[in-house]
Homo-oligomer: A and B are copies of this chain.
């Protein structure tokens, strides 16, 4: 008992209560924050996934496009750098690029100055896809934060970056195999 919707997921409050029932020495305030962060992130990823699907690409594609665009003009990176940036193995990057080349989102060519290197370059179609995805994403994000007053937004941003600084300092960029960048 206690499950609100069928079995999909208990409410956050129910879940915290269950944690307290099964584990002593638990700070409900901490658990509330941490679990809300996780859930929020999952919901955001679901939303992004819907939007990219709507555009005919995958979240995986979107990540690559994002990395290329954010690298700045002329929107070129090597597969190895892309892999590091996205937290993938180079092997996975090879296949991902294979697919994206056939989809026309990026071009792959050999670096003529160093023929062991490969250059992945954003196509104009790829850049356009990224822009469309960004338009959808920003609408969703603005809607998500709609209920927050301006000063709450400032405060939230400040607190989150403080947490981030703490955890990034603690684990100074260990090759985190847990994708889902930014």
Residues of chain A having any CB pair with chain B under 8 Å: 5-10, 12, 15, 18-19, 21-23, 25-27, 29-47, 49, 69-72, 81, 84-85, 131, 134, 138, 141-148, 152-157, 159-164, 166-168, 170-182
Tell me whether B39 and A38 are in contact (CB under 8 A).
no
Q: Say how many copies of this protein the assembly contains.
A: 2
Which residues from B are CB-within-8-Å of A134? Answer: 23, 26
Scoring A26, A43, A143 by chain B CB atoms within 10 A of each residue's CB, the highest score goes to A43
Tell me whether A171 and B43 are in contact (CB under 8 A).
yes
Tell me whether B153 and A29 are in contact (CB under 8 A).
yes
Cross-chain contact of A70 among B19, B131, B164, B166 (Cβ < 8 A): B19
- Return 18 A-B CB contacts under 8 Å, by A number: A7-B81, A8-B175, A25-B138, A27-B138, A29-B153, A30-B153, A38-B44, A42-B180, A43-B168, A44-B167, A45-B176, A45-B178, A49-B177, A49-B178, A144-B163, A148-B162, A148-B163, A156-B156
Tell me whether B36 and A38 are in contact (CB under 8 A).
no
What's the least CB distance linking A144 to chain B, in Å? 6
Tell me whether B85 and A173 are in contact (CB under 8 A).
no
Question: How long is the Cα–Cα vector from A25 to B137 in the complex, in angstroms?
Answer: 12
| Known contacts A8-B84, A85-B9: A70-B167 contact under CB 8 Å | no
| Known contacts A69-B22, A141-B30, A159-B148: A176-B42 contact under CB 8 Å | yes
